[in-house]
């Protein structure tokens, strides 16, 4: 299994992964983004879920960095998986 397939099979939970998998695939393919390693993805998501930034929200099954409170508006399951992404609050 190559790194891209590992990335696409990884998810914060099965429901989220089911819906975000096609989005991640599209993003990775479209921008040629380098995937982050799994440990990094976990660390990033843990930081987001603490919500010290005040931007973390859940929209249905999706975790989002809320643009209405100064976040980037990204789906976190996707954002955290791309190696070159950065937290807009510089928390990771």
Using CB under 6 A as the criterion, which residues of the chain lie in contact with ligand SF4 when the complex forms? 47-48, 53, 55-56, 65, 71, 87-89, 91
> What are the distances in angstroms from CA 71 to CA 12, 23, 65?
20, 19, 5
Q: Which is nearer to ligand SF4, 5 or 88 (CB)?
A: 88
Q: Which is nearer to ligand SF4, 5 or 13 (CB)?
A: 13
Separation CA 46–CA 62 (nearest Å): 15
Closest approach of ligand SF4 to the CB of residue 1, in Å? 28
Q: Which is nearer to ligand SF4, 5 or 34 (CB)?
A: 34
Nearest to 48 by CA among 87, 8, 5, 1: 87
């Amino acid at each position: 299994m190559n790194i891209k397939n590992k990335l696409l099979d990884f998810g914060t939970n099965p429901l989220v992964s089911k819906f975000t998998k096609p989005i991640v695939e599209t993003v990775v393919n479209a921008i040629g983004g380098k995937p982050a390693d799994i440990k990094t993805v976990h660390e990033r998501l843990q930081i987001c879920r603490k919500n010290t930034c005040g931007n973390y929200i859940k929209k249905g099954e999706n975790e989002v960095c809320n643009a209405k409170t100064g976040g980037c508006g990204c789906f976190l399951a996707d954002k955290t998986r791309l190696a070159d992404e950065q937290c807009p609050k510089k928390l990771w």
